[in-house]
A = this chain, B = another copy of it.
């Protein structure tokens, strides 16, 4: 008995998944309860040598061939993007096949449509590879963490930006230099927009939040800010004050509302996430009773994500004998609204470039006070000439109030440039 698989898209992850299936065949069969065999692969490129023995596998240039093949029970979509990939996923589901995908962009953008089609056709979409590569976070949410009402998620889920921030922090090189380095090493794409602008992390946190909070999350509403504007200076000021800068994906279930956002964030250096460095990823969930749980591992790469895809195929194979129920309504049912950013509560790092003369600190502090923003600490360094940077760390404040205060402060004649504002997240410090 074998579970037969068709793989559409034979790039990095596709090759990784096929390699895992070929090399770990007995391990996979033991866990699945049957052989899991790649029947066909579809890709336009059959020139590239993937270094795999494909003699037992049909090669195609048309994904639809696999979708129509009655022998194939599970379709792996690794084409990427949201156009043809979407058609393949819908086609496979409507042809009665389960789908495995690592396509977070597709799931975040078209999840409501795709999961409702899956539900209607009583087929499944598995997507362990879509978040955190080799980290078993998705199956844990449906498995070992299934009984927990998770209400906070803090995640480092973009390896490229975490690598860049780690290098900037450790070696003091500016963003552009480190980005080029990352591109040379293959850690960043030639067009790094999705990674450094936070879009990729937004895709992933949209998926996690929807599963944990049982509500549809609209990607378009997710606040997304990348790391392009981050300077070494800010990273170092933060370190001095006891914080490390991370591109953090944050999601909180507040009852009727949820917060889902991605932005550069200072976290206390003694938190475990602060020591997640380089291309590694980590997802920290918090649930009442269960407390804090962290899953850490490789966030990307052919074999880590390939393993995720194969672990999903093992689930598919088991379902082919005995189909377990699954509830996808969270993906297409908007049960909770997204809290507007102006209403979120956070602590803030505010850096100003000011004239070096008496009374400046007091003026800024006065405006902050007028807007109900109280100050935790101030860092003023020796001036270079007539200007100097001043950093205020605030207590918790409403974002809208902070923005109003900054408008006023930037109009002061002693303030020489727009403020640099970075949110601080202490995470569940009181509850750990």
Is A235 part of the contact surface with B, judged by Cβ < 8 Å? no
Contact B20 A307 (CB under 8 A): no
Cα A27 to Cα B288 in complex, Å, equals: 13
Is A128 part of the contact surface with B, judged by Cβ < 8 Å? yes
Output the nearest chain B residue to A21 by Cβ-Cβ distance. Answer: B147
Contact A148 B307 (CB under 8 A): yes
Is A318 part of the contact surface with B, judged by Cβ < 8 Å? yes
Output the nearest chain B residue to A330 by Cβ-Cβ distance. Answer: B30
Contact A307 B290 (CB under 8 A): yes
Contacts of A297 in B (CB 8 A): 290-294
Determine which residue in A272, A290, A324 has the highest number of CB atoms from chain B within 10 A of its CB, and name it: A290
Copies in the complex: 2
Contacts of A311 in B (CB 8 A): 143-147
Cα A20 to Cα B287 in complex, Å, equals: 12
Contact A143 B272 (CB under 8 A): no
Contacts of A31 in B (CB 8 A): 142, 146-147, 327
Contacts of A292 in B (CB 8 A): 297-298
Is A359 part of the contact surface with B, judged by Cβ < 8 Å? no
- Given A33-B326, A33-B327, A290-B297, A139 and B144 contact (CB-CB distance below 8 Å): yes
Over the window 136-177 of chain A, the binary record of Cβ atoms lying under 8 Å from chain B Cβ atoms (1 yes, 0 no) is 111110111111110000000000000000000000000000
Contact A145 B136 (CB under 8 A): yes
Contact A20 B289 (CB under 8 A): yes
Q: Which of A365-395 contact B (CB under 8 A)?
A: none
Is A362 part of the contact surface with B, judged by Cβ < 8 Å? no
Is A106 part of the contact surface with B, judged by Cβ < 8 Å? no
Is A185 part of the contact surface with B, judged by Cβ < 8 Å? no
Cα A24 to Cα B325 in complex, Å, equals: 19
Instruction: Select one of B19, B134, B145 contacting A291, CB under 8 A.
Output: B134
Output the nearest chain B residue to A278 by Cβ-Cβ distance. Answer: B432
Over the window 30-47 of chain A, the binary record of Cβ atoms lying under 8 Å from chain B Cβ atoms (1 yes, 0 no) is 111110000000000000
Is A214 part of the contact surface with B, judged by Cβ < 8 Å? yes
Over the window 264-303 of chain A, the binary record of Cβ atoms lying under 8 Å from chain B Cβ atoms (1 yes, 0 no) is 0000000010010000000000010111111111100001
Output the nearest chain B residue to A33 by Cβ-Cβ distance. Answer: B325
Contact A294 B293 (CB under 8 A): no
Contacts of A148 in B (CB 8 A): 24, 27, 134, 307
Identify 5 residue pairs between A and B in the complex whose beta-carbon atoms are under 8 Å apart, listed by A's number.
Answer: A27-B146, A31-B147, A31-B327, A144-B311, A145-B307
Q: Which 3 A-B pairs have the closest CB atoms?
A: A136-B144, A33-B325, A322-B322
New A-B pairs, 15, CB < 8 Å, besides A134-B290, A143-B311, A289-B307? A16-B289, A28-B146, A30-B327, A31-B147, A33-B326, A136-B140, A136-B293, A143-B144, A146-B310, A146-B314, A289-B303, A290-B298, A293-B296, A295-B295, A319-B322
